[in-house]
Amino acid sequence: MKNYKLVFILASVMLLVINCSPKKEEAAGSRSITVKGKVQSPQSGIITLTEIRQDDQKPKEDTIKLNTDNTYEKTVTIVEPGYYRMNFYGRQFVNVILDRSNLEVNVDGNDSNGFSEVKGSPDMDMMMKVQTMTQAAQTSEEAQRIQADFQLAVGQNDEKKITELQQEYQKILDHANQQLADTINNQPASLGLINLLQFNNPLDKDKFFSVYTNAAAKFTGEWEKNYYGKGFVSFVENIKRTAIGQPAPEISLPDPDGKVISLSSLKGKFILIDFWAKWCGPCRMENPNVVKAYNTYKDKGFDILSVSLDKTKEDWVKAIKEDGLVWNHVSDLKYFESQAAKDYNITAIPFSILVDPNGIIIAKNLRGPGLQIKLMEVLDKK
């Protein structure tokens, strides 16, 4: 019996507790933000509010003192919107955004699961709405009915019914994704919007690329000077560079013997660019499927260029041998700092890109049966 499953592709959203969604431009310059709240069951230690930075600048850090009634109130000065982390006794961490509105954060210091309550946050409401939408699509009565019928069809090995139910389920997901896209399109520029689109990826970037470009167009004025605003616009530009239909960026890296192999040198074939590493469990699990695809189509105009994100040559070469990967391999052994990883906006692996004989990207992130189906589509018809 074949293995079947319904794939829920509407991503759940990991919430970053956030504050303030600017509706209008304000004059540049520093401003004061008040963070207050109450700590139930305080623990020994300190409470800190620390700026989260991804550059080489020293982050700001403030210490917060509790009043005798276990409340606190801290006024901090910020120059631009930014991400911050509240650390309660080293036991609980609450990520917040400081922008233009005051914020209230209440916690239970005795709750090891990290209970927190945040008030005064329009963006938090937006994030909760997005999370609710993703869950609703999967837990609706219609979706549950389809899932129950699907399991029954699998038990009966009814392939026709299985296909019908997969298509029916996909319609639900397509509708939910479109509703989510409409909601995101109506959001103003904010760090909350950046957090949602850049760090949580709730939508397929290729199918809903217009959502990303629409959002990036909102980060004008003061946002053009903001570290995260500039980073988000750059992030969207990188997505555009590797979108389906775009020429694949050149890759030119050494193989295990030190010989430089370029992607352009393989032009004329369908090429699977496969980002992986020895330490990546899912990559190693996927490799037998890639080996099968290579053996099936290597004589039909198909080849593979594997780009390792390993840190040592020893690990890289060992994994190639262990998994029986007999095609082209390149790496600069720089982990996610690899130039190829940056050029292709790789933030997680395994990740693959299929390029046609003219060097144009035609599919992305093909795994499992998806790879076999796509190769069958483009190569068996030749």
**In the chain, what are the domain boundaries?**
31-124, 125-241, 252-379
Q: Write the CA distances from 80 to 144, 194, 225, 297, 371, integer angstroms.
A: 45, 15, 9, 54, 45
What pLDDT, on the 0 to 100 scale, is given for residue 139?
85
DSSP codes of every residue in 159-223 = HHHHHHHHHHHHHHHHHHHHHHHHHHHTPPS-HHHHIIIIII--S-TTTTHHHHHHHHTT--GGG
Closest to 41 in 3D by CA, of 91, 96, 102, 85 = 91
State pLDDT tens for residues 317-358.
999 999 999 999 999 999 999 999 999 988 889 999 999 999
Q: Mean pLDDT score of the chain, rounded to an integer? A: 87
Average the pLDDT over 27-48 and give the result.
86
pLDDT at 17 over 50: no
CA 108 – CA 121 distance, rounded (Å): 19
Check whether the bond before 350 is cis (ω within 30° of 0).
yes
**What element of type H or E holds 230?**
helix 227-241
Q: What's the topology of domain 252-379?
A: Glutaredoxin (3.40.30)
Bridge partners of 328? 305
* Residue 29 pLDDT level (bands cut at 50, 70, 90): low
pLDDT digits (tens, 9 = 90+) for 191-231: 889 988 988 878 888 889 999 999 999 999 989 988 889 99
pLDDT at 56: 76
DSSP 25-93: ---SS-EEEEEEEEEES--SS-EEEEE--SSSSPPPEEEE---TTSEEEEEEEESS-EEEEEEETTTEE
Q: What's phi and psi for 318, nearest 5 deg? A: -60, -45
Integer Rg of the chain from CA = 24
Q: pLDDT tens across 251-274, in order?
A: 999 999 999 999 999 999 999 999
CATH topology of domain 31-124: Immunoglobulin-like (2.60.40)
- Write the CA distances from 153 to 23, 266, 343, integer angstroms: 51, 44, 43
Whether the per-residue pLDDT at 150 is higher than 60: the answer is yes
Mean pLDDT of 154-174: 86
pTM of the shown model: 0.66
pLDDT of residue 19: 38
Q: How confident is the model at residue 68 (pLDDT cuts 50, 70, 90)?
A: very high
Which pLDDT tens digit goes with each residue over 294-314?
A: 999 999 999 999 999 999 999
12 pLDDT above the threshold of 50? no
- Residue 169, pLDDT score: 87
H-only helix segments in 203-334? 209-216, 227-241, 281-297, 313-323
Question: What residues are paired with 118 via a beta bridge?
Answer: 105
Angle, vertex CA 373, rays to CA 255 and CA 241, nearest 5: 55
pLDDT at residue 11 above 60?
A: no
44 contacts 51 by C-beta, under 8 angstroms: no
